[in-house]
Copies of this chain bind each other. A is one copy, B any other.
């Protein structure tokens, strides 16, 4: 009897601070997750034709690139910074505003997590809006997967955790992955609780309340909509590119 093909592992990291402890496998792709709002926004920008995105981890870098003429999206604690062209809302990134252009992107949590993950072989950008296309792409890579939740200031956050569960479950169902990671099991169980009414579930999330206070919670229904785009943004070298070209009909 032929032995079954070796499966790849899935590990979930609930905050960047736990990354060194969580990652026990080698040869892995990191999926970066910041549902509210960086990774949802990045997927949206590619869905609307941005050419490439340059992520930066500090405000100084973002400010310098602005002065060199780049379009810059930058926020701190959820708010757009004065010098920037955009904040961190997916709704900013319309085809008119960013189609065919290069965007510099700096956010409180998202790009910091990206910095944490730089030792990965590849870093893909995950959100509910590209869940299925991302799953398909990961299934074809023959690598282990580490799902890295950005969290909020290194705290666990619900919206990233349930996405990690949705993605982990999708990958397990494909039959090419397995997991022995307690965080992955927990994320899958949280997703099973949240799935029947995701926007209702997320009402209790702390970050949802932070955004509401700032009047920035209009993106919430969109951020939890499954598969509105087929893009798979991947960090390569010093920029993020879409590896699944958008077919224009």
Residue A17 at the chain B interface, CB threshold 8 Å: yes
Contact B18 A155 (CB under 8 A): yes
Contact B190 A156 (CB under 8 A): no
Which label, helix, strand, loop or mixed, suits the secondary structure of the A interface?
Answer: helix
Decide yes or no: A155 and B17 within 8 Å by CB, A180-B206, A186-B161 being known contacts: no
Contact B209 A156 (CB under 8 A): no
The copy count of this chain in the complex is: 2
* Count, chain A residues at interface, CB 8 A: 29
Contact B209 A180 (CB under 8 A): yes
Residue A61 at the chain B interface, CB threshold 8 Å: no
Shortest A186–chain B CB gap in Å is: 6
With both beta carbons as reference points, the residue of chain B lying nearest to A158 in the complex is identified as B182
Would you list which residues of chain A between 153 and 195 have a CB under 8 Å from chain B?
153-158, 161, 180-183, 185-186, 189-190, 192-193
Complex Cα distance, B161 from A207, in Å, reads 21
Contact B180 A189 (CB under 8 A): no
Contacts of A158 in B (CB 8 A): 182, 185-186
Contacts of A153 in B (CB 8 A): 21
Shortest A166–chain B CB gap in Å is: 15
Contact A206 B189 (CB under 8 A): no
Binary B-proximity of A30-62 (CB < 8 A = 1, otherwise 0): 000000000000000000000000000000000
Contacts of A190 in B (CB 8 A): 186, 189-190
**A22-B155, A156-B182, A161-B186 given; 16 more Cβ-contact pairs under 8 Å:** A14-B14, A14-B156, A17-B17, A17-B21, A18-B18, A155-B183, A156-B186, A157-B182, A158-B182, A158-B186, A180-B209, A181-B206, A182-B207, A186-B186, A189-B189, A189-B190
Which 5 A/B pairs are nearest by Cβ-Cβ distance? A21-B154, A158-B182, A156-B183, A189-B193, A21-B155
Complex A-B: 16 CB contacts under 8 Å: A14-B14, A15-B21, A17-B18, A18-B18, A21-B153, A22-B155, A155-B183, A156-B183, A161-B182, A180-B206, A182-B204, A182-B205, A182-B207, A185-B205, A186-B186, A190-B190
